[in-house]
Amino acid sequence: MKLDSKIPSGPLQQKWERYRLEMKLVNPANKRKFDVIVVGSGLAGASAAASLAELGYNVKCFCFHDSPRRAHSIAAQGGINAAKNYQNDGDSVYRLFYDTIKGGDFRAREANVYRLAQVSVNIIDQCVAQGVPFAREYGGLLANRSFGGAQVSRTFYARGQTGQQLLIGAYQALERQIGLGRCQMFPMTEMLDLVVVDGQAKGIVSRSLATGAVSLHAADAVVLATGGYGNVFYLSTNAKGCNVTATFRAYKRGAAFGNPCYTQIHPTCIPVSGDHQSKLTLMSESLRNDGRVWVPKKKGDQRRPHEISEGERDYYLERKYPSYGNLAPRDISSRAAKEVCDEGRGVGPGGLGVYLDFADAIKRLGEKAIQERYSNLFEMYERITGESAYETPMRIYPAVHYTMGGLWVDYNLMSTLPGLFVIGEANFSDHGANRLGASALMQGLADGYFILPSTIGNYFGSTKQSKVSANHAEFRKVEEDVKARLQKLLSIRGKRTVTSFHRELGKLVWDKCGMARNEKGLQEALRQIPALREEFWQNVNVLGEGGELNQSLEQAGRVADFMEFAELLCLDALTRAESCGGHFREEFQTEDGEALRNDEQFSFVSAWEYRGAGKPPVLHKEPLTYEEVKMAQRSYK
Ligand SMILES: Cc1cc2nc3c(=O)[nH]c(=O)nc-3n(C[C@H](O)[C@H](O)[C@H](O)COP(=O)(O)OP(=O)(O)OC[C@H]3O[C@@H](n4cnc5c(N)ncnc54)[C@H](O)[C@@H]3O)c2cc1C
């Protein structure tokens, strides 16, 4: 396997322009000859499928939900970044680019990030034209708020439902194409494998979740927009359905997996309250615009928050990071919360919580203003905890939220398998080792609306294509593999539920490779995961049959993939003997507990190649070279 990032030559600011000038075009009549499969209909997939169909390609779009509108993207609350500088507060394309590179702890590809910042401004125009109801100022201009890791206000939002409103926009564009007959939608259909013919991705094998029927779909290119894999930890803020199956099975067919160990732990989530939970709830980062984070100065202080005077409180983010304060980036804020809780100063049951306090903001702005900004988030918090955050501080704690790792892609968003494109959270993305808040929606829509529609045409225009039909022997072979695996899962009829395996795996990965990792713990995880996997294949109990709606079978397939993927994640974390962003190796930290990078040895993207069952994967390295920015120790002080 050879990694070639295919970054265009020339000055950073001109690379994308130059690429678009030099890329091969497909004329409108010829576009009709190309079939494209898009797997996923979240913000990345829906925007890509709609844009490709609008261009004239024949598109088939798949999702496992009953409607594209149920994709996990709908959960995004806080907002989407763009370098519009509407606030006149010093923002620019360059500043967004720099903040993103620095926020990612200098582990992202410079050229991609610059392009992302450039394209960000187009996204807002596109969405406004679709009718997305972004919040507006009194005079009618679009409003902005701040998110972590930035000193400007560049986040566009639709109250606490930004993902939902953006998805409605993308979904309408997709529905229009479905209505015009240019896109065929396959809801409740799960991709279970990728078909590669003569080294090129040529289709997928899928299973209808309604009937259990397995079917084959051929195309000239396959686009994976299948989201992130945070649920490998079992408990996360992700929708329950999020999984690694599509990308992991593509990995097993030859696509390299990039940076699997880079996981984002979000500092602002409702704390775990017991063993019964199957999911954690995010309280949007936007709340940190007005909420102040604190814990008691005294260890084990059990008093209620209002009984603790100002002088007895530690506003630790404001104390440690005076220039960014409560808007310090996620990785840094999460670790700071863990640190104070580890010291015994955490609040709430079990001491795993910190306060997010709105009292000052309510005093300054009035309760009505806070309601206007966050009422749906406050309502959600009250429904879950029974407490009103207008009256008492919220209790929050970090939780798994986003995965920066994903399939490795080049500048064209193409994986190491020709014809297989990967967009949105599913690729290893532009966020390096830590994603800044409100940048995932920006990346997913940049990929789907603007970048892929250009780069896929360049692929068709510059690569010799041979039409392959689903009758090709390779399709039949992959179909047999898929059916055999389903049958195997159904035939075990063991004693343990799929969920109990998932829960145990998640706890193991969280304990050994969560917010903090070390060599000993990772070695242990690498011993324990294969043993748990072995037990899974001997003792799992998958209920029901294959030829029907069977959620136990769906879940078993996804957990089986997590069982293998978890090992890759821990191996990547073990190999990266440095701390950077969300990857915090306890052995590598500065005197004041910040991540200590090792640029000399680890300034690269890890891209793992699958070599077959039972064989260790091979690590390939894409060197990261910075022409424009100077690598520095990240500081938010
Ligand atoms: C609670 C929460 C709040 C967030 N808030 C923000 C925010 O305010 N701003 C921000 O920038 N980011 C936010 N994020 C992150 C952001 O929402 C996600 O990164 C982004 O929406 C991912 O979009 P996507 O299109 O890549 O994937 P998804 O929206 O996850 O969509 C994946 C799609 O793939 C389909 N799929 C997956 N596997 C298969 C398969 N095997 N076969 C068929 N279909 C498949 C699914 O059905 C779905 O349609 C938030 C995340 C969470 C968890």
Read off the pLDDT of residues 587-605 as tens digits, 9 standing for 90 and up: 999 988 889 999 999 999 9
366 and 506 together in one domain: no
Find the mean pLDDT for residues 71-91.
95
Last residue of a domain, one of 400, 429, 454: 400
374, 400, 426 - which closes a domain: 400
Q: 146, 207, 282, 425: which to mutate for ligand 1, most atoms within 8 A of CB?
A: 425
The answer to whether residue 366 sits within a structural domain is yes
Indicate left, alpha or beta for 105 from its phi (over 0: left) and psi (-120 to 50: alpha).
left
For residue 41, the ligand 1 atom closest to its alpha carbon is 49
Mutate to test the pocket of ligand 1, among 73, 245, 384, 422 (most ligand atoms within 8 A of CB): 73
Shared domain for 480 and 351, answered yes or no, is: no
Read off the pLDDT of each residue in 235-255 and give the average, rounded to a whole number: 97
pLDDT at 465: 83
Q: How far apart are CA 126 and CA 132, in angstroms?
A: 9
* Rounded-to-5 percentages of helix, strand, coil across the chain: 45, 15, 40
User: Quick check: is 10 in a domain?
Assistant: no
110-130 vs 15-22: helix axis angle to the nearest 10?
Answer: 80
Given this model, what pLDDT does residue 148 score? 80
DSSP state letter for 426: G
CA distance 34 to 219: 8
Q: Ligand 1: distance of its center to the CA of 178 in Å? A: 21
Q: Say if ligand 1 is within 6 A of residue 62 CB.
A: yes
What is the tally of structural domains in the chain?
A: 2
Closest residue CA from atom 9 of ligand 1: 438
Do 388 and 515 sit in the same domain of this protein? no
Atom of ligand 1 nearest to the CA of 245: 41
pLDDT tens digits, 325-380? 999 988 899 999 999 999 999 999 889 999 999 999 999 999 999 998 889 889 99
Band of pLDDT at residue 66, cut at 50, 70 and 90: very high
Q: 565 in a domain, yes or no?
A: yes
Residue 116 Cα, ligand 1 centroid: separation in angstroms? 18
Task: Tell whether 300 and 388 lie within a shared domain.
Answer: yes
pLDDT at 270 exceeding the cut of 90: yes
Question: Looking at the domain assignment, is residue 434 inside a domain?
Answer: no
User: What is the biggest distance separating any 2 CA atoms in the chain, rounded to whole angstroms?
Assistant: 74
Is 239 a domain residue? no
Cβ pair 133, 161 in contact under 8 A: no
Same domain, residue pair 367 and 477: no
Q: Per residue in 512-526, is it b (16+ CB within 10 Å) or e — as a string?
A: bbbbbbbeebbeebb
In this prediction, residue 533 carries a pLDDT of 98
State the distance from the centre of ligand 1 to the C-alpha of 242, rounded, in angstroms.
8
Nearest CA to ligand 1 atom 21: 73
Query: Tokens 């091969």 belong to which residue?
Result: 24
pLDDT at 479 (0 to 100): 98
* pLDDT tens profile 179-226: 999 999 999 999 999 999 999 999 999 999 999 999 999 999 999 999
- Residue 371 in domain: yes
Q: Which of 441, 558, 561 to mutate to test the pocket of ligand 1 (most atoms within 8 A of CB)?
A: 441
Q: How many angstroms separate the alpha carbon of residue 43 from the centre of ligand 1? A: 7
User: In this structure, what CATH number is given to the domain that contains residue 374?
Assistant: 3.90.700.10
Using a 6 Å cutoff on CB, does residue 100 contact ligand 1? no
How does pLDDT run across 93-139, given as a tens digit for each residue? 999 999 999 999 999 999 999 999 999 999 999 999 999 999 999 99
Structure tokens at 594: 């910040």
Position 219 in a domain: no
- Which range of residues forms the domain containing residue 591? 473-623
Domain end call among 344, 376, 400: 400
Residues 488, 603 within the same domain: yes
330 catalytic per annotation = yes
The amino acid occupying position 362 is I
Name the residue type at position 134: F
Residue 241 — φ and ψ, nearest 5°? -75, -15
**Which band of pLDDT confidence, cut at 50, 70 and 90, is reported for residue 160?**
confident
**Is residue 505 one of the residues assigned to a domain?**
yes
DSSP assigned state of 547 = S
Cα–Cα distance between 474 and 345 in angstroms, integer? 59
Out of 330, 373, 395, 597, the active site residue is 330
514: domain CATH number is 1.20.58.100
